Amino acid sequence: MVWFFVIITVPLLGAAVFYWRWRRMIDAEIAEGAAIEWAHLQKHEPEFLAGMSEEKFREIYALVHTPRFPGYALAMTLTFFASLPVTFAVLALVLWGAQAVGAVPEPVDVANRLLLDDGELLFFRSTPPEAALYYIRDVSGFYYFFGVLAAWLGIVAFFMRRFHRRRPGYLRDEIIRTRE
């Protein structure tokens, strides 16, 4: 698992550096757009901007026009991979606890129930009991798969709720909102 994190860290750091450079470029373009919009509104609607400084206008303009989803997508991905060891530890603890209270049957018991009289499994032909034992033991990977999937969906739900809750309105609406 350590090598997995070593291997996955390199592309994630590359994505973070790419995002940082892209964000700097976007910030420069937004600053230019804010200056143009400020000049336009000062010329045509000066009463609308009465009492607002140019710095405050630039902040509002950047809030409205900066793309937010790439940052959230990167944060979701980083959070998912950072939480993976904790997720596996929690899933192992839950599986251990379920086995301790008898909620999960032992693979030997399941394999014995699935074998017919002549040594065949109900869903395979002529399977030795050892193979049935390995197959049943590997079914627990099913629970790990869906446990990791549930953790991932929880992370996505958290970030998407935050993304939509903090969504800014239109430029005019945000200017009016800051004046109130």
Over residues 160-178, the pLDDT tens digits come to: 999 999 999 999 999 999 8
- Rounded Cα–Cα distance for residues 175 and 14 (Å): 37
The tokens describing 40, both together, are: 């336009």
Q: What confidence tens digit (pLDDT) does each residue in 64-80 have?
A: 999 999 999 999 999 99
Quote the DSSP letter at residue 121: B
Contact call for residues 179 and 99 (beta carbons, < 8 A) = no
Count of domains for the chain:
1
What are the φ and ψ backbone dihedral angles of 75, each rounded to 5 degrees?
A: -65, -40
DSSP state of 8: H
Amino acid at 116: L
Enclosing H/E stretch for 113 = helix 107-114
Q: Which of 65-79, 90-104, 129-143, 149-163 has the lowest mean pLDDT?
A: 129-143
Q: What is the residue range of 122's domain? A: 2-179
